[in-house]
Structure 1
Amino acid sequence: MTIDDIDKYDIARALEEVSFMNSSRSSLRDDNQTGHRVVSGVYYTNWSPYNELGHFPRDINFANVTHVYYAFFHVDGKTGNLKSTDSWSDFQIPITTGEGHPNHPEGCLGELFILKLHQKFKVLMSIGGWSNRKEFTEAMQDIEKVQNLAKSCIEIMFRYGFDGIDFDWEYPRNNEYEPRNFVHLIENVRFGLDALEANIFNTPKRRFEITVATPGTEDNLQGIRFNRLIPLVDYWNVMTYDYYGEWSDRTGYHSNLYNPAFQDEYSGSDTTEEEYKEKDEVVKEHSLSASGIISILCNKYKVPRNKVVMGMASYGRGFTNVKTNVNSAAYIGKKYSGVGGSGPEKDGTWKYNELPLTGTEEEFDPMYGSAYCFDKETKTFIGYDNYQSIRMKGEYTWRSDLAGMFMWESAGDDYKYPNLSLLEIYAHEVHYKLKKDRSPFTEKSLIEFYLKRYPKNGFLTTYLKTILQNTE
């Protein structure tokens, strides 16, 4: 055990004691609430099993999770159809489920499907992502491709056992067709899912969910027609991270809850559109924070708070050769040269479970709500989420009546010391019960419908036949 391991062990033990002392308090708050339940989501990436990550769905503690967003399926820019980005990882990689079933589906999707049948959480198919931004945008310029995409979303979602769709288009531009076509896409998917549910369940209750990965900055919100989409979207997953990085002129925290320079200019209900425009330029510069963008979303764009899910990051972003006095605690707003990073790409990122850096001490900035560490030898500064920032964010979501929080992404969390897991900390800090709903695929009527649609060649056909036989 290294010195760093000893430090983390001490923190984990302390958190365990605090968690035990707070357990009765949390239970009382659960009982005293009016049925409000919150989201605790996590993105799982299909490249997680590879290389040094070696991370599989079974590594996640699903007691702390309500939603898994499986990233990514990509949009084909030429046709608008969806395509797997890694068929081996998605559908074929051998899995270990512990149930010894000879007919279980393979791949990470097969593992997630089996896990969710035994625990209460939903798995949504996330489409798009940063690397798919060009093709996604290409498809959204043609209404026929948009219609193809809507049909493809519903077909792929159902065939592979997802419980909904997460749209991650980075980002719709505010031009004559992209905002309109994004509305058209979501409308077609929502109406298609409603029709599918009516055929299966014959009830108006919605079971399949739609979520949107929402920009964390004001500029990138302009191309989204919230007034049209709010009734159709279940949750808005706000990407409240990547505020600073290798693209920035100066250092800064990338996942801070607050920005002391931000003034909530959008809280007044009587503010006119003209007044908003006058305030925009001033607010934009200082709203690089989770609380800042959420204020703008809820007050300016009128997104209901119970549909807003705030992001947390399981990685830090850093800067090297920071131009500062090593004996000073002032590390943000400084010039730098290079960004470093723990991976081969040296893109300025370190996984949360690699932080703080060896030989550094973890510090916390309560003004911004962010942890950080600083290496005096290399003058490397890294800002990131830790147990303190997640507790602060959990308290903020509770006080602000938000729908909950999600994490990008599961591979960076701490599995060696579970009490340091960001998901674990959030699940214990939250003052409401988690929104633990069973997958629609646990319902007999859906299984029967699936087998009628895919009697031989469905991804889940053989497995669901066995389940149905065992229930009869």
Structure 2
Amino acid sequence: MQRRPWLSHTVIIIVILASIAVEMCFYKKIFHRSAQRKVVDYVQSQPQQAQLVTNPGTVEPGQYLSGLYYSNWSPYSPRMHFPHDIDLSRVSHIYYAFFLVDGATGALKLGDEWSDVGMDLYKPMAIKLNKLNPEVKNDLERQRRILPNGCLGELFYMRNANLFPNRNIRDFKVIMCVGGWSNREEFPKMVRNPKRVDKFIDSCIETMFKYGFDGIDLDWEFPEDDGFEPQMYLQLAKRLKERMNELEDAIFGPNMNHPKFQLSMATPAFSEKLDILPITEMDKYIDIWNMMTYDYHGEWSEKTGYHCNLYNGSTKSFDETHQKHIYSTESVEGLDAHSAIEHMLNVAGVNSHKICLGMAAYGRGFTNVVAQSTDKRFIDKPFHGVGGASDGEPGMWLYNQLPIQGTHELFDPDYVSGFCYSSTSKTFVGYDSVESVRFKAQYVREKNLAGGFWWESCGDDHANQSRSLLNAFTNEIKFVSKFDDLMYRQTPVLRYYVNKFGNDAFLSPFILNLLAGQGEAPH
């Protein structure tokens, strides 16, 4: 028989590739099991907290939005922050970040498949909540085989399972965030190809509905001032809103009295970027403008500064006697939240009830600051380096890591910002504190804004009620909107979901159980 060396080489290559594939699958299983074990061990090691079911007393269903951006990297070490850690009685919206744009195709994809839809959070959830309500464990064990996994699965479960009938914890919306800073380069690729734009619109609506979201939050950071990208952003908003309306019509028919999918936008909060967006035209399609009123100063700055200040203190001063701010007659727009809000109201003409004020559950800092021991402020100073304690984020500290060791938390009432300063390491960090958040809640009321939100949930101190920014805001604002007409509480929506995706889709087994409990069946 004639020898065929190419055949033996081919066999060897196939064996090698098969071995690599098996090894990768084995590694993936080991990694996920290890990560899952860490989650359970972490929850078991923590003292029992009643945060999820805290009755805030002064918080009642009402008029103001209270939103949290929840990132899909939150469950990983060192953050180890899970949806069931949040006091959901104080929340109107969870903005789930991020779903990513594939610029080459226009399709949407999961940002972290295991965190989004793979990990099993029900065991740690039961461990944490069992002492608060013994029925939780029984409920989870009874339904475990039909429950969707991942952070998205847990959020959907918590909105549809009546775990705590006497507590107002499940009437919140979950919104799909698309894009983000790390995904910013994919938008320009996508919008320059009409077929990719079509794919993007289709994929957004399909993905939103498949994973049980109440809407979409667009986060393109940021369109270039080229006469094309801002107009394409407008077109994306227009087409998405139109498709949401079409989906509602398909589900509910011509009946106008039904829940609506929400379209919001993570919005730049300084004039350089606001000026290039066709905000007045976009406002026809955007339901909520989430103003990113943070990151005003950081490692890119020439000098130190607060990164989430409400006011430009050079044109404002605080009257401590009368507890109010005094405006200067000089009008100078600076890097501050108030200037951005005024731009939206007075330049773009947006209704104040559609604007949410952004707050930061993290600080930005500077090291080797050139300052004097007698200084009371540490902004507008030369610096060399930025330091930081947040894993993978230079110059940043999570709020729950502040104030830095050996310092005291201070407050600047003219700028409305918390801060701390270490004279030993000459490190200055500006951040939102309980005191600044209370002022911002008052500002929301005074300006008749829609409410407030945080980037991001894992930075808050959920274990300490007196330090929690979410608590401080909701205690001050008093009325947090809750929704008793959520999209996925509607029988026509549940029926439509199963008929569209079949019995084996991400949410289908649990939805079929919900329908059975209502005496309903898809048809």
Same fold (TM over 0.5): yes
2:212 counterpart (151, 161, 167): 161
Secondary structure of 2:185 counterpart: helix
Q: Does 1:426 align with 2:473?
A: yes
Q: Which residue of 1 aligns with 2:90?
A: 64
- What does the per-residue CA deviation read over 1:29-56, in whole Å, with 9 as the maximum and x for residues that have no partner? x8xxxx9611100000000010111111
Secondary structure of 2:96 counterpart: strand
1:230 counterpart (278, 283, 293): 283
Q: Which residue of 1 aligns with 2:433?
A: 386
The answer (yes or no) to whether the contact 1:398–1:431 under 8 Å persists in 2 is: no
Identify which range, 430-439 or 320-329, moves more after superposition: 430-439
Distance 1:301 1:160 in 2: 34
Q: Which residue of 2 aligns with 1:93?
A: 119
Distance 1:416 1:186 in 2: 38
TM-score, length of structure 2 as denominator length: 0.78
| 1:174 shift after superposition | 2.4
Q: Does 1:349 align with 2:396?
A: yes
Distance 2:357 2:268 in 1: 11
Secondary structure of 1:419 counterpart: coil
2:381 counterpart (326, 334, 338): 334
**Unmatched tracts of structure 1, length 5 or more:** 1-18, 264-281
Distance 1:395 1:92 in 2: 41
1:134 counterpart (174, 185, 198): 185
Quote the sequence identity (%): 40
Q: Which residue of 1 aligns with 2:456?
A: 409
Q: Which residue of 2 aligns with 1:10?
A: none
| 1:319 shift after superposition | 0.3
Q: Which residue of 1 aligns with 2:156?
A: 113
Identify which range, 409-418 or 120-129, moves more after superposition: 409-418
Q: Which amino acid aligns with 1:113?
A: F
1:211 counterpart (241, 251, 264): 264
Distance 2:252 2:471 in 1: 35
Residues 89 and 345 (structure 1 numbering): CA distance in 2 closer, same or farther, change over 3 Å?
closer
Residues 95 and 104 (structure 1 numbering): CA distance in 2 closer, same or farther, change over 3 Å?
same
The answer (yes or no) to whether the contact 2:390–2:398 under 8 Å persists in 1 is: no
Q: Which has the larger radius of gyration?
A: 2
Distance 1:231 1:395 in 2: 28
Secondary structure of 2:175 counterpart: strand
The answer (yes or no) to whether the contact 2:68–2:455 under 8 Å persists in 1 is: yes
The answer (yes or no) to whether the contact 1:121–1:438 under 8 Å persists in 2 is: no
Q: Which amino acid aligns with 1:299?
A: N
| 1:212 shift after superposition | 0.2
Distance 1:262 1:296 in 2: 16
Identify which range, 36-45 or 376-385, moves more after superposition: 36-45
Q: Which residue of 1 aligns with 2:230?
A: 179
Distance 1:427 1:36 in 2: 11
1:194 counterpart (197, 222, 245): 245
**Unmatched tracts of structure 2, length 5 or more:** 1-54, 126-135, 162-169, 317-329
Distance 1:231 1:218 in 2: 21
Q: Which amino acid aligns with 1:306?
A: H
> What is the RMSD of the two structures over their aligned residues, measured on CA atoms?
1.9
Q: Which residue of 2 aligns with 1:361?
A: 408
1:243 counterpart (285, 289, 296): 296
| 1:176 shift after superposition | 2.5
1:259 counterpart (301, 312, 331): 312
Higher relative contact order (CA 8 A, sep 6+): 1
Q: Which residue of 1 aligns with 2:17?
A: none
| 1:81 shift after superposition | 0.8
Runs of 4 or more above 6 Å deviation: none
| 1:286 shift after superposition | 3.8
Distance 2:111 2:479 in 1: 37
| 1:126 shift after superposition | 0.0
The answer (yes or no) to whether the contact 1:314–1:385 under 8 Å persists in 2 is: yes
Q: Does 1:49 align with 2:80?
A: no
Secondary structure of 1:261 counterpart: helix
2:173 counterpart (98, 102, 122): 122
Q: Which amino acid aligns with 1:107?
A: G
The answer (yes or no) to whether the contact 2:90–2:480 under 8 Å persists in 1 is: no
Q: Which residue of 1 aligns with 2:10?
A: none
Q: In the TM superposition, what are the counterparts of 1:72-91 in structure 2 within 5 Å? A: 72-91=98-117
Distance 2:152 2:398 in 1: 24
Identify which range, 119-128 or 99-108, moves more after superposition: 99-108
- The number of equivalent residue pairs is 425
Q: In the TM superposition, what are the counterparts of 1:142-153 in structure 2 within 5 Å? A: 142-153=193-204
Residues 36 and 113 (structure 1 numbering): CA distance in 2 closer, same or farther, change over 3 Å?
closer
